[in-house]
Amino acid sequence: MATDDAFAPPDSETPPSAQGHHAQLLFQPNFGPLFVTQFLGAFNDNFFKNALVILVTFRNVTVAGVAPEAMVALSAAVFILPYFLFSALAGQLADKLDKADMIRATKTAEIGVMLLCAAGFVLGSVPVLLAVLFLMGTQSTVFGPCKYGILPQHLAEGDLVTGNAFIELGTYLAILLGTLAGGVLINMPYGEYIVAAGVLIIAGLGRLASQWVPAAPAQNPDLEVRWEPVGPTLELIRLCREERSIFLSILGISWFWLFGSAFLALFPPYTKVVLGGTEGLATLFLALFSVGIGVGSMLCERLSRDRLELGLVPIGSFGMSVFTADLWWVGAPWATGDAPIALVEIVTRPAAWRIFIDLVGLAVFGGFLIVPLYTLIQQRARAEVRARIIAGNNVINAFFMVLGSLALAGLQQGIGLDPVTIFGVLSVANVLVAIYIYTVVPEFLLRFVAWMLSVLVYRVKVHGHELIPDEGPCVVVANHVSFIDWFVLMASIKRPARFVMYRGFYDLPVVRFLFQQAKCIPIASAKEDPEALERSFERISEELRDGQVVVIFPEGRITHTGDMQGFRPGIERILETDPVPVVPVALNGLWGSYFSRKEGAAMTQPFRRGIWSRVHVTVGAGVQAAEANAQVLEERVRGLWQARPQHP
**Of 632, 605, 607, 636, the residue nearest 619 (C-alpha):** 636
Distances (CA, A) of 471 to 388, 547, 622: 22, 7, 14
Alpha carbons 41 and 204: distance in angstroms, whole number: 10
Predicted confidence at residue 58, as pLDDT, reads 57
Q: Where are the domains of the chain?
A: 31-225, 244-380+417-451, 464-642
Whole-prediction pTM value? 0.80
Pairing of strands 497-502, 521-523: parallel
State residue 309's pLDDT score: 78
- Confirm if 528 and 483 have CB atoms less than 8 A apart: no
- Per-10-residue mean pLDDT, the chain, length 648: 36 38 81 95 91 69 53 76 92 94 95 92 84 92 92 86 90 90 86 91 95 93 89 92 88 92 86 87 89 90 76 88 95 86 91 95 93 89 92 93 87 86 94 82 75 76 85 92 86 84 78 75 82 89 92 89 89 92 92 78 64 82 90 92 68
* Separation in Å, CA 549 to CA 475, 476, 490, 644: 6, 7, 11, 25
> Domain 464-642 belongs to what topology?
Glycerol-3-phosphate (1)-acyltransferase (3.40.1130)
Is CATH 3.40.50.300 correct for 31-225? Answer: no
What would the DSSP string read from start to end of 381-407? S-GGGHHHHHHHHHHHHHHHHHHHHHH
165 with 73: CB under 8 angstroms? no
Phi, psi of 621 (to 5 degrees): -65, 145
Which residues is 586 bridged to in the sheet? 618
What is the per-residue DSSP string for 119-180?
A: HHHHHT-HHHHHHHHHHHHHHHHHHHHHHHHHHHHHS-HHHHHHHHHHHHHHHHHHHHHHHH
Which of these, 457, 459, 489, 458, lies nearest to 587 by C-alpha position?
Answer: 489
pLDDT, position 510: 67
**Cα–Cα distances in angstroms (integers) from residue 232 to residues 134, 135, 228, 237, 391, in the given order:** 21, 21, 7, 9, 11
Q: Are 306 and 466 in contact (CB under 8 A)?
A: no
Non-local (6+) Cβ contacts of 260 within 8 A are 289, 366
CA atoms of 74 and 123, how far apart (whole Å): 21
Sequence-ordered alpha helix ranges (H) in 22-67 = 32-58
